[in-house]
Amino acid sequence: MRLTIQREYLAQSVQDVMKAISSRTAIPILSGIKMVAMEQGVTLTGSDSDISIESFIPAEEDGKMIVEILEPGSIVLPARFFAEIVKKLPQDTVEIEVQASHVVLIRSGKTEFNLNGLDAEEYPRLPQIQEEHVFKLPTDLLKTIIRQTVFAVSMSETRPILTGVNWRVENGELICIATDSHRLALRKAKIEMEHHLSYNVVIPGKSLNELSKILDDTNEAVEIVMTENQVLFKTKHLLFFSRLLDGNYPDTSRLIPTDSQTDVIINAKEFFQAIDRASLLAREGRNNVVKLATLSDNKLEVSCISPEIGKVTEEIQCEAIEGEELKISFSAKYMMDALKALEGTEIKISFTGAMRPFILRPLHTDSMLQLILPVRTY
């Protein structure tokens, strides 16, 4: 293998595939980046066997020469060193040449690195996915959907299925649900698909977080392919594979209350800031719990007492409070996470008593919902 490549394209591609590479891997070759040079361009692959990322650098793009392949071939490079070296090379162009015994010469200007590589034949094969049925989402919408749900997955391996986000496709709609059994995030979106197919899979939260980091903020479509045990996200030059979680996701629909006793319409930002301030003292307690009480004249009171430090109380003027009086306690962190995810200015919070889960939604759409279980303190 021998080639010349534009450094900035190589650096971007390396940075993308590095997202899949773990510093602690049981399979030594997976600490490397596989590089394959063919006439059309160069393909880089990184994997931790749960996530695999393939990035393609075309020989030419928009009439600009990016890679010159002098001799096709393949090699596995030590990922961490290769990534740092590429970042720090002195010139815009980099020469890469595989020599005897898998030694790789990397030259730029008067700088020469010789890195000990590994045989690309030893690198595990990526999952083969037959792309019969795909559906599409704009990149920016995909990132929003991930952001609005993934924070609610469970961090505990007690119930592994809850560490993933449930993606269901039915009737031309994608429904994403995450819950750690103390709170739940739900987001729906219409999707483009040719055949009306149904899927019900659970994607690891970690995979979605990494995918989100790697995607640009464009509205170009991402193609999504689902199989029994893998999901593939495809953009122009990137393939992102993730394994799916085994098992059935619990039915969460019965958790979501359909009636309500107290409805509050409130400015999300003001409410967030009040909870944030109360949380300064609540964090000192063992569970970061704040109290909320309805007052007269459409006012809410947020409060928190920490016997050692002191106390905080705050009044918030709401747009409307309808229904019964209420005193309720909940985790400040869950509330702040939910308010961040909703990103609306005016939201509606529907309570069904102090001991029942309550839900938050934007005022004018039912495409998303956040649910929080209260904490018993009153």
In the complex, the residues that contact its own copies under the rule CB under 8 A are: 78, 81, 84-85, 88-90, 103-104, 110-116, 273-274, 276-277, 280-281, 308-316
d(CA 108, CA 83): 14
Counting Cα atoms < 13 Å in the Cβ hemisphere of 136 gives: 10
φ, ψ at 237 (rounded to 5°): -120, 15
Q: What amino acid occupies position 279? A: S
d(CA 342, CA 127): 36
In this complex, which beta carbon is closest to its own copies, that of residue 88 or of residue 159?
A: 88
Least separation in angstroms between CB 33 and its own copies: 14
In this complex, which beta carbon is closest to its own copies, that of residue 191 or of residue 295?
A: 295
Least separation in angstroms between CB 282 and its own copies: 12
Least separation in angstroms between CB 12 and its own copies: 19
Provide Rg for the chain, Cα atoms: 25
Least separation in angstroms between CB 21 and its own copies: 16
In this complex, which beta carbon is closest to its own copies, that of residue 116 or of residue 229?
A: 116
In this complex, which beta carbon is closest to its own copies, that of residue 116 or of residue 156?
A: 116
Beta bridge partners of 370: 185, 360
Beta bridge partners of 236: none
DSSP conformation class of 133: S
In this complex, which beta carbon is closest to its own copies, that of residue 84 or of residue 324?
A: 84
In this complex, which beta carbon is closest to its own copies, that of residue 79 or of residue 372?
A: 79
Q: Quick one: which of 149, 255, 253, 254 has its CA closest to 204?
A: 149
d(CA 183, CA 288): 15
Least separation in angstroms between CB 85 and its own copies: 6
Least separation in angstroms between CB 147 and its own copies: 23
The total number of residues written for the chain in this structure: 378
Least separation in angstroms between CB 252 and its own copies: 34
In this complex, which beta carbon is closest to its own copies, that of residue 102 or of residue 356?
A: 102
Residue keyed to tokens 């964090």: 283
Q: Spell out where 15-153 has E strands.
A: 32-38, 41-47, 51-58, 60-61, 64-65, 67-71, 73-78, 93-98, 103-108, 111-116, 134-138
